[in-house]
Amino acid sequence: MTGIDRKRIEAAVAEILAAIGEDLSRPGLASTPSRVADAYEEFFSGLGEDPAALLGEGVPLEGHDAETVLLRDIAFRSICEHHLLPFVGVAHVAYMPNERVVGLGRIPRVVETLASRPQLQERLTEEIADTLQDGLDAKGVLVVLDAQHTCVTARGVRQTDSTTVTVASRGELADPVAKAGLLALIGRGDA
């Protein structure tokens, strides 16, 4: 990743701590600016990365048809761009292969890369769907994200049990019947 300026992050964190009235020389805070810079480097590691490149070439189907590929419960974490607070959840991703399939480990990498940016869950859902639709030339894509936002659970309205669900569909999986069938599979937790 390019663009992380650790010294500026450390200075900004020190300023925030001073602004809330903390003593920066207190032993518990001595390394906090550096630790936050470490965390931000990890949280935002997806900036500047091309998620479509993670899909690779794939494997030709060679005369076989794969109706739908569904990966459930892909854990992810991201940082909400409105409050710079984390949101964590699971992604369920389905695609209908056209002429090739992709290694199953590549889809979680796409999710992780796109989530490792300042994000909105709604946009993240759409970006995952677009990356898979375009990168795989898929007949259809369905992405469902179910996440808990600390800007909702830990501050403001403090709804500790609430989650947010977003859905994006493309191609043949935008059809209401096809989408409903996959949503049922996701919700049941069994095939």
Residues annotated as catalytic (active site), given as ranges: 80-83, 121, 149, 151
Question: How many angstroms separate the CA atoms of 134 and 65, rounded?
Answer: 19
CA distances from 82 to 42, 44, 79, 118, 121 (A): 19, 15, 9, 9, 11
Question: Which residue, among 138, 147, 135, has the nearest Cα to 169 in the 3D structure?
Answer: 138
| Sign of the CA dihedral running 41, 119, 81, 183 | negative
The tokens describing 49, both together, are 């990365």
What is the radius of gyration, based on Cα positions, of the chain? Answer: 20
